[in-house]
């Protein structure tokens, strides 16, 4: 399960990059698309901060 | 109820308003953060529960396992919406299918009419010549990569520099795979071409293809706007029909 979750995390990175590349290439972007993209990143950031504040990230060595 | 471990998350935190430059920065920071987080994670920690307050102010406890799963699924839901919005704005969507990530290549290229339509959506309005070339290339690559390539790819090669490399690759691949048969049946190939060009089959194929696009994509107006002209459809159908006939004649 850990490896699968790592894989999904890698996918999220790849997918966000794919969309960002499309944004860079677009001559003009619809505001709604940018808003949705910001929401994806914003939510990822909020969850990451929750993860980093929680016990697992602070653990060192085997729990 | 879990003890809060952080201040209430403001709604704006999950719906931030960012410029493209800020997006670039956040994108880098967030994914670097996840990479180091999951690298340090161990199996036992997956079942640890984290207490937090959501954007509506309610307290929850969720396992690391479920949070990571949620982040993955939540992202995909919104990426789908983003691609719909890009498509509706006449821009090229950027598919983010997991299987494409696994394969290491875009998942957009599929067999059938819709993939051709998809390729066409990549083309900006007004650039119909390029659209036609792309459809021909799509027809070759996706549907009939064998018999027509030397003939049609030559047109593409001459007409569009952008596709020269792709067309060249297809031509080479096809020449190497079918040269003996093409040489033997060159007359049949030509007869098929001329018969189809003015025959009823092209009309039937065209009706079927348009119907497939309408059924497959849901809107004739979208098809009409994006395809631009039936000429483009004809090009595709001509390629498709000729290939079918040639394949039958040579079988």
Lowest pLDDT segment from B15-19, B181-185, B241-245: B181-185
Minimal C-alpha gap between A6 and chain B (Å): 6
Is B28 part of any domain?
A: yes
The residue out of B78, B103, B128 marking a domain boundary is B103
pLDDT in tens, B7-40: 445 556 889 989 888 999 999 999 999 999 999 9
Q: How far apart are CA A34 and CA A23, in angstroms?
A: 8
Q: Residue A37, CB half-sphere, CA atoms under 13 Å: how many?
A: 32
CB contact under 8 A, B30 and A44: yes
Q: How far apart are CA B235 and CA B206, in angstroms?
A: 10
Q: How far apart are CA B177 and CA A27, in angstroms?
A: 41
For B71, name the nearest residue in chain A, comparing CA atoms only: A44
pLDDT in tens, B94-113: 889 998 888 775 444 333 33
Q: How far apart are CA B251 and CA B176, in angstroms?
A: 18
Minimal C-alpha gap between B190 and chain A (Å): 42
* Residue B49 β-bridge partners: B63
Q: Touching check for B20 and chain A: CB below 8 Å?
A: yes
Is B6 part of any domain?
A: no
Q: How far apart are CA A30 and CA A23, in angstroms?
A: 10
Closest CA to B234 of B152, B132, B138: B132
Q: Do B43 and B124 sit in the same domain of this protein?
A: no
Structural domain including B156 reads 113-250
Q: Touching check for B74 and chain A: CB below 8 Å?
A: yes
CB contact under 8 A, B15 and A8: no
Q: How far apart are CA B49 and CA B69, in angstroms?
A: 14
CB contact under 8 A, A8 and B18: no
How many other C-beta atoms lie within 10 A of the C-beta of residue B179?
Answer: 11
Q: Cα-atom radius of gyration of chain A, to the nearest Å? A: 16
Contact list in A for residue B94 (CB cut-off 8 A) is 18-19, 21-22
Q: Do B120 and B242 sit in the same domain of this protein?
A: yes
Q: Do B33 and B137 sit in the same domain of this protein?
A: no
Q: Do B59 and B97 sit in the same domain of this protein?
A: yes
Q: Do B170 and B232 sit in the same domain of this protein?
A: yes
For B69, name the nearest residue in chain A, comparing CA atoms only: A5
Q: Percent of chain B, pLDDT > 70?
A: 37
Q: Touching check for A1 and chain B: CB below 8 Å?
A: yes
Contact list in B for residue A26 (CB cut-off 8 A) is 86, 91-92
- Give the list of residues 6+ apart from residue B60 with CB closer than 8 angstroms, or none: B2, B51, B52, B53, B54
pLDDT in tens, B214-226: 444 322 222 333 3
Q: Do B77 and B37 sit in the same domain of this protein?
A: yes
Q: Do B183 and B144 sit in the same domain of this protein?
A: yes
* Residue B61 β-bridge partners: B51
CB-based contact B56:B10 (threshold 8 Å): no
Q: How far apart are CA B98 and CA B120, in angstroms?
A: 23
Q: What's the average model confidence in pLDDT over A23-37?
A: 92
Give the model's pLDDT for residue B102.
Answer: 85
Q: How far apart are CA B233 and CA B203, in angstroms?
A: 11
State whether the Cα torsion B114-B75-B13-B38 is positive or negative: negative
Q: Do B117 and B25 sit in the same domain of this protein?
A: no
Q: Do B146 and B41 sit in the same domain of this protein?
A: no
- Tokens for B168? 């060249």
Contact list in B for residue A25 (CB cut-off 8 A) is 92
- Give the list of residues 6+ apart from residue B127 with CB closer than 8 angstroms, or none: none
Q: What's the average model confidence in pLDDT over B149-159?
A: 41
pLDDT in tens, A40-58: 999 999 999 999 986 543 3
State whether the Cα torsion B146-B147-B152-B158 is positive or negative: positive
pLDDT in tens, B39-90: 999 999 999 999 998 878 889 999 999 999 999 999 999 999 999 999 888 8
């Amino acid at each position: 399960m850990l490896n699968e979750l790592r894989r999904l995390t890698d996918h999220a990175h790849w997918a966000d990059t794919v969309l960002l590349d499309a944004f860079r290439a677009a001559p003009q972007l619809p505001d709604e698309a940018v808003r949705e993209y910001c929401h994806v990143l914003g939510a990822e950031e909020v969850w990451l901060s929750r993860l980093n504040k929680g016990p697992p990230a602070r653990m060192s060595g085997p729990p | 109820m879990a003890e809060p471990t952080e201040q209430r998350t403001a709604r704006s935190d999950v719906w931030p308003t960012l410029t493209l430059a800020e997006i670039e920065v956040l994108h880098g920071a967030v994914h670097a953060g996840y990479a180091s987080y999951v690298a340090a994670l161990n199996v036992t920690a997956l079942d640890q529960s984290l207490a937090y307050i959501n954007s509506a102010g309610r307290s929850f406890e969720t396992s690391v396992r479920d949070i990571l799963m949620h982040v993955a699924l939540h992202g995909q839901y919104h990426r789908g919406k983003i691609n719909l919005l890009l498509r509706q704005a006449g821009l090229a969507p950027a598919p983010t299918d997991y299987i494409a990530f696994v394969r290491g290549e875009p998942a957009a290229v599929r067999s059938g009419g819709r993939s051709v339509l998809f390729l066409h959506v990549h083309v900006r309005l007004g650039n119909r010549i390029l659209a036609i070339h792309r459809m021909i290339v799509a027809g070759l690559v996706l549907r009939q990569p064998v018999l027509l390539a030397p003939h049609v790819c030559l047109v593409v090669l001459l007409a569009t520099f952008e596709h020269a490399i792709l067309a060249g690759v297809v031509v080479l691949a096809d020449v190497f795979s079918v040269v003996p048969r093409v040489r033997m049946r060159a007359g049949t190939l030509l007869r098929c071409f001329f018969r189809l060009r003015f025959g009823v089959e092209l009309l039937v194929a065209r009706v079927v293809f348009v119907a497939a696009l309408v059924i497959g994509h849901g809107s004739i107006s979208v098809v009409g706007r994006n395809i631009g002209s039936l000429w483009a459809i004809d090009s595709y159908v001509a390629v498709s029909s000729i290939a079918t006939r040639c394949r039958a004649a040579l079988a």
